[in-house]
Amino acid sequence: MELLKRKIQEEGKIISEGILKVDSFLNHQIDPLLMQAMGQEFARRFHGDKITKVLTLEASGIAIAIMTALSLQVPLIFAKKRRPSTMNDEAFLGHVHSFTKDEDIDIMVSANFLSPEDRVLIIDDFLATGEAARGMIEIVRQSGASIIGVGIVIEKAFQEGGKSLREEDIRVESLARIAKLEQGRVFFL
C-alpha cells in the first residue's frame, strides 16, 4: 500500500537490530485517516470472505482493527493480556512470548464472543516472529471458529513469522513488507 510505505519512509525511525519505530502514526500517536484507509484496504482484500468477527490483541492493534471492523461492518474483539477482575466467564486462552519485552504472557477472549460459526479475520500492527498472531490463532482454534486470514500493517519479512504462517496455508495480507533495515534505510520487498 503506497500511502503506508511513503509514511514509513518519511516518519519511520530505525532504532537498532531490526527495530523500526513508527510511533508518530501507528502505535503511540495514531493517524486516524491512515487507519481508515488501511481498514478499507483490508476490507477490500477480504471482501466476499464472509468475515463475521475481527480479532486483534490489545493495545496497538485496536486502532487499525476497529477501522477494519467498521469497513466490514462486523464486531471487533480484542484479546486481553490478562484476566480482568470483571471477567469470570469461561475464556479461550493463547500463549504469547514477547521478544521485545522478554516475557511470556497469556492472552484471552471470553467464550461468549467466538463460536464455531464465526469466520475470523485476525488484524495486527506488526508481524515479526509471529508470536502474537499464533496466540490469536490458538484462541480461534479453541473456539472452533474458522481462521479466514491474518491482516498485518507492517510485516518484517526478514523475520520468520510471515513465512511460517504461509507455510501452514494461513492467508497473510500485509500492507507493507520490509525486506531489510540497513544503513538507516527501509527496503521494501
**Residue 68 annotated as lining a ligand binding site:** no
Tell me how far apart the alpha carbons of residues 135 and 185 are, in angstroms, rounded to a whole number: 31
Collect all residues with Cβ–Cβ distance below 8 Å to 28 and sequence separation of at least 6. Answer: none
Collect all residues with Cβ–Cβ distance below 8 Å to 33 and sequence separation of at least 6. Answer: none
Which of 155/170 has CB closer to its own copies?
155
Stretch touching its own copies by CB under 8 A, among 27-35, 151-159, 167-175, 176-184: 27-35
Task: Identify the residue among 58, 104, 160, 182 touching its own copies (CB under 8 A).
Answer: 58
Residue 1 burial class via C-beta count within 10 angstroms: exposed 0-12, middle 13-18, buried 19 and up: middle
Question: Are 121 and 53 spatial neighbours (Cβ–Cβ below 8 Å)?
Answer: yes
5 binds its own copies (CB under 8 A): no
Tell me how far apart the alpha carbons of residues 177 and 4 are, in angstroms, rounded to a whole number: 11
The four Cα atoms 105, 135, 59, 124 give a dihedral, to 10 degrees, of 150
Stretch touching its own copies by CB under 8 A, among 59-67, 123-131, 144-152, 163-171: 59-67
Identify residues 80-99 at the interface with its own copies (CB under 8 A): 80, 84-87
CB of residue 168 vs its own copies: minimum separation in angstroms?
27
The residues that touch its own copies, with contacts defined as CB under 8 A, are: 15, 19, 21, 23-25, 28-33, 35-36, 58-60, 62-63, 66-67, 69-70, 73-78, 80, 84-87, 100-101, 109-110, 112-113
Residue numbers in the known binding site for 5-phospho-alpha-D-ribose 1-diphosphate are 128-132
Residue numbers in the known binding site for xanthine are 20, 27, 156
